[in-house]
Amino acid sequence: MIRRILEIPDPGLREPCAPVAEITPEIARLAGDMFDTMHASAGLGLAAPQVGVYARLFVLELPPDDDDPLSGRRFVLINPEVDLTGARKEMVEGCLSLPGFRAMVKRAEGVTVAFTQLDGARVSLEARGLFAQAVQHEVDHLNGVLFIDHLKSLLDLERIPPEMLDWTEEAEAEAA
Ligand SMILES: [Zn+2]
């Protein structure tokens, strides 16, 4: 089921999220709905607070890329804990809660992320590139932080050219 995505400046996007205490059928249904919602908007990632649920979980699914073994797979990350690795680098970034815009944001090149899966297993992944960037973006959402908070000025936002709004055409203009 597609849920409504909150958009900036909805105050719901600033709510801190509580840890998920138990993986209930409701949580599984929420994760399924979040994939449906994300796919409907051609996004790569979506955090629960973006659909008005203040729980520490997000979903990620990067478009298939032969160079990235984490791409093309569905991930549900519950109660994530992140360590940043590598250098900080400027990366182009967007957000489904601010459709049509993007900006350069400084992110770590890599992350180590521990999280609970829907099956209850606690796992840890090392990621670089787009996956690492998306993890940082989504964890920010769980803390009520938006990518525009990393900008010196909102004037640093730029409109995404309409032909780049579909990630199947151009993975660089991702909305997460
Ligand atoms: Zn976002």
CATH code for position 18: 3.90.45.10
Residue 143 lies in a domain: yes
Query: 147 lies in a domain?
Result: yes
Question: Looking at the domain assignment, is residue 6 inside a domain?
Answer: no
Supply the pTM of this predicted model.
0.92
- Count Cα neighbours of 66 within 13 Å in the Cβ-side half-sphere: 0
- Taking only Cα atoms into account, the Rg of the chain, rounded to an integer number of angstroms, comes to 15
Four-CA torsion 129, 133, 134, 136, nearest 10 degrees: 140
User: What is the Å distance from ligand 1's center to 119 Cα?
Assistant: 25
CA 59 to chain centre: 7
pLDDT of 57: 98
| Residue 62 included in any domain | yes
Mean pLDDT, contiguous 10-residue spans, the chain (176 residues): 98 97 98 98 97 98 94 97 97 96 97 98 97 98 98 92 62 55
Q: Which of 138, 158, 169, 170 is catalytic?
A: 138
Query: For residue 174, what pLDDT is reported?
Result: 57
Question: Using CB atoms within 10 A of its CB, is residue 101 exposed (0-12), middle (13-18) or buried (19+)?
Answer: middle
Residue 2 falls inside a structural domain:
no
CB burial readout 118-149, b (16+ within 10 A) else e = beeeeeebebebbbbbbbbbbbbbbebbbbbe
170 within 8 A of 162, measured Cβ to Cβ: no
Q: Which of helix, strand or coil describes residue 48?
A: helix
Compute the distance from residue 138 Cα to the ligand 1 centre, in Å: 6
Task: Name the residue range of residue 137's domain.
Answer: 11-171
- Please indicate, yes or no, if residue 165 is contained in any of the structural domains: yes
Q: Which residues hold their Cβ within 5 A of ligand 1, which is an ion?
A: 95
As for how many domains the chain has, the answer is: 1
Say what the pLDDT of residue 175 is.
62
**Looking at the domain assignment, is residue 16 inside a domain?**
yes
Q: Is 26 a catalytic residue?
A: no
pLDDT digits (tens, 9 = 90+) for 46-90: 999 999 999 999 999 999 999 999 999 999 999 999 999 999 999
- Residue 169's pLDDT is 45
**What pLDDT is stored for residue 133 in this prediction?**
97
